[in-house]
Structure 1
């Protein structure tokens, strides 16, 4: 799953970098892939959780200078009949103003919001330390579906570690075969992916029987029409402000 944090007090967003596939009582995961859950544009940041294919489409849409009027899909049905969704939150630069959010977040007063399988662990750590990077690290030590380097955008210093080379969905899928790690969810023991696992994963992904995700930890739901209108309006305003800033 994942751990995403909206750090309102420190004006920062943070996320882990683990992507995973659940296969029975096994978790196959890849950390530090460069396929991030956070994306930036000149006057906004987007942080996502959920299905990797949907997140890929939303990141490409969000980072396009003039996004298409038609929104990317907000859910999809895999070939095995499973329903997948996406959480999207958009925060405006430089003032750190949340202009759109679709998802189920846990709130710690007005200080921070948390989502994903590691949300409870992260919130407990943040309540003591007040650090959104440290709390994602803390969640990764307790939640098997959170891990890898902590990614962030800091609105106070205007620094970020999410602007590496573009990594495609196809490249992410290949990483599962090249360097995936298998975890037994009962014992928490890990091992490098085997030749048999590689073949099984490749076939399952191609056949639509497996999905790469940073799951939300909540039952999936379809977006409302009000949410779709709201995100379109928010992006339209951001694009207009960027145009004005460059005029």
Structure 2
């Protein structure tokens, strides 16, 4: 989420994949949903398709020459907002997520974070509240303050490392009774998890930051807004 008043941004650190009535997940992997882009005087907030998030993070770290990555793949989308730093101006209006006068909210936990934020005005507490009520929200709450530059971002892993970490030390939650089992144990006793493990290790499957917005295709207006935002960022590079 992003607080327009304080210019503070927060996100959880859970990456996951749904498997029938199971949630396969890993927390605190080092691959953040917030990306600081000082060379562009900007910051990005992501949800949705994990592989697309990696591709966009890689591209945004460059000089932005050449075509940008796709916004949709395999029937799902990236959910992405670009913000100027330090003023917090939103550069692209994707449309996905929840836009309120107080801030922007995206992800599966947004419906729980919004009422908490309205009452407490704290981006960290809002995500902590979402963690208590949404199984797809979890792990350490990551944040950045665009005004003073403080943050607890790690940015130490890539999406493929997240997949490896999931297989090694992740978990499977059986949604119906909230039972949580280590991934390796579940793979040894649950045929569906075992098949998923093979796909993860073969690179045929990745993990996401799941949310309903990732199943909504980008429309023309949203794509045009993104192109405009990229032009703004390229203009900043030319002036640097």
Query: TM-score surpassing 0.5?
Result: yes
Point out the more displaced range, 21-30 or 223-232. Answer: 223-232
Matches within 5 A, 1:1-247: 5-42=1-38, 43-64=41-62, 66-77=63-74, 83-108=75-100, 110-165=101-156, 167-193=157-183, 194=185, 195-196=187-188, 199-205=194-200, 206=202, 208=204, 210-218=205-213, 220-244=215-239, 246=240
**Whole-angstrom distance in 2 between the partners of 1:219 and 1:84:** 5
**Whole-angstrom distance in 2 between the partners of 1:105 and 1:222:** 13
C-alpha distance after superposition, 1:73-95 (max 9, x if no partner)? 11112xxxxx1111110000111
What is the CA-CA distance between 1:103 and the residue it aligns to?
4.0
**Whole-angstrom distance in 2 between the partners of 1:73 and 1:240:** 21
**Whole-angstrom distance in 1 between the partners of 2:71 and 2:155:** 25
What is the CA-CA distance between 1:143 and the residue it aligns to?
0.6
Greater share of strand: 1
TM-score, structure 2 normalization: 0.89
C-alpha distance after superposition, 1:108-161 (max 9, x if no partner)? 4x1122122111110111111110111001100111100001111211211122
Where has structure 1 moved over 4 Å in runs of 4 or more? Answer: none
**Whole-angstrom distance in 1 between the partners of 2:109 and 2:12:** 10
**Whole-angstrom distance in 1 between the partners of 2:214 and 2:35:** 25
CA contact (8 A) 1:116 1:216 kept: yes
Question: What RMSD, in angstroms, separates the aligned Cα atoms of the two structures?
Answer: 1.9
How many residues are aligned here?
Answer: 232
Point out the more displaced range, 199-208 or 37-46. Answer: 199-208
Q: Which runs of 5+ in 2 are unaligned?
A: none
CA contact (8 A) 1:88 1:101 kept: no
TM-score, structure 1 normalization: 0.87
